[in-house]
């Protein structure tokens, strides 16, 4: 098993390289075929057992006593990590196939929103095709001539750059800019003074914003900087110092408390997944 997952130099051992690919595909399709042949009520238990064993390895590897910094399971770390990478890659492939099946079905049935599904399929196929061409044949010509009275030279690389840089990157910027407007509207609703909590929130936000710009610092510029012990007390009331105190002494502990709660939630979720206790559309029901 360890030898099978070792990297192979294609130029030195081309036969072994292709042999590993064929054997890996055969094992993958064999496992998938066995899972499909198993009755549905037993399929869930098979997945639960392998999920438990996969999580148990890392739990045991972490908690087992170590001698000279290593225990008996450390030598299998690379093998198990490679197996998880391979399983993850196949899972992504199955996810892509499932996604395409879902949207192709919507387009064929002209279900509501089928236009969005068609745009997703076209975009996916276009990025896949030109992504592969950009990797293996970036300088191949697709068009070379005059278009709209201008000389145009189109290659696989230029089409990929147009789709990725001119499309995905700009779409991402546009989406984030729209999210900024939603954040601004949410902040407006949260800052409306209706209670003591909202008043404190608005006051803290106002102080931090003023302490971050030059106009705000001018308001308390007449206070001493605190270069000597006599003026150190009054320097605490400069607006930039108040803003720093709010960020470091008030906001940071609150964020740590929130992150601690999120970490406990992640731990609970990991345990539920490891023990196959999670229920929902992707665990207990057919989508």
For residue 161, is it within any domain? yes
For residue 36, is it within any domain? no
Residues 284 and 207 in one domain: yes
Number of domains making up the chain: 2
For residue 95, is it within any domain? no
For residue 121, is it within any domain? yes
Q: Which of 168, 191, 214 is the last residue of a domain?
A: 191
Residues 286 and 266 in one domain: yes
Residues 284 and 201 in one domain: yes
Residues 183 and 205 in one domain: no
Q: Which domain holds residue 116?
A: 112-191
What pTM was computed for the model?
0.59
Residues 202 and 175 in one domain: no
Residues 244 and 283 in one domain: yes
Residues 198 and 274 in one domain: yes
Asked whether the beta carbons of 223 and 234 are under 8 A apart, the reply is: yes
Q: Which residues contact 234 (CB under 8 A, 6 or more apart)?
A: 223, 224, 226
Residues 187 and 197 in one domain: no
pLDDT tens track, the chain, 287 positions: 556 666 677 677 788 888 888 888 888 788 888 888 888 878 888 888 888 988 898 888 888 887 777 888 888 888 888 888 888 888 888 889 889 999 999 999 999 999 999 999 999 999 999 888 888 888 888 777 776 667 777 888 888 888 888 888 888 888 888 887 888 787 777 777 677 877 888 888 888 888 888 887 888 888 888 777 777 888 888 888 899 999 999 899 999 999 999 999 999 998 988 888 877 555 555 43
Dig out the tokens for 54 from the structure: 């996969």
For residue 198, is it within any domain? yes
For residue 238, is it within any domain? yes
For residue 268, is it within any domain? yes
């Amino acid at each position: 098993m360890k030898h099978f997952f070792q990297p192979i130099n294609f130029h030195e051992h081309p036969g072994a390289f292709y042999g590993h690919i064929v054997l890996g595909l055969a094992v993958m399709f064999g496992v998938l075929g066995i899972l499909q042949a198993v009755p549905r009520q037993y399929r869930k238990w098979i997945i639960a057992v392998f999920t438990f064993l996969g999580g148990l390895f890392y739990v045991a590897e972490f908690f087992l006593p170590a001698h000279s910094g290593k225990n008996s399971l450390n030598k299998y770390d690379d093998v198990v990590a490679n197996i998880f990478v391979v399983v993850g890659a196949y899972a992504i492939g199955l996810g892509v196939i499932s996604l395409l099946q879902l949207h192709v079905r919507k387009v064929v049935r002209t279900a509501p929103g089928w236009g969005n599904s068609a745009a997703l399929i076209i975009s996916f196929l276009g990025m896949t095709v030109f992504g592969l061409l950009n990797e293996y044949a970036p300088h191949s010509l697709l068009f070379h001539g005059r278009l709209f009275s201008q000389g145009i030279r189109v290659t696989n690389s230029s089409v990929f750059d147009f789709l990725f840089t001119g499309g995905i990157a700009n779409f991402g910027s546009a989406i984030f800019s729209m999210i900024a407007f939603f954040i601004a509207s949410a902040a407006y609703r949260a800052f409306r003074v209706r209670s003591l909590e909202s008043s404190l929130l608005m006051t803290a936000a106002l102080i931090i914003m003023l302490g971050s710009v030059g106009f705000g610092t001018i308001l308390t510029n007449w206070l001493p900087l605190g270069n000597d012990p006599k003026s150190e007390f009054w320097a605490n009331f400069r607006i930039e110092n108040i803003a720093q105190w709010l960020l470091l002494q008030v906001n940071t502990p609150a964020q740590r408390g929130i992150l601690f709660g999120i970490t406990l939630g992640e731990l609970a979720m990991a345990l539920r997944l490891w023990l196959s206790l999670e229920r929902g559309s992707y665990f207990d029901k057919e989508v």
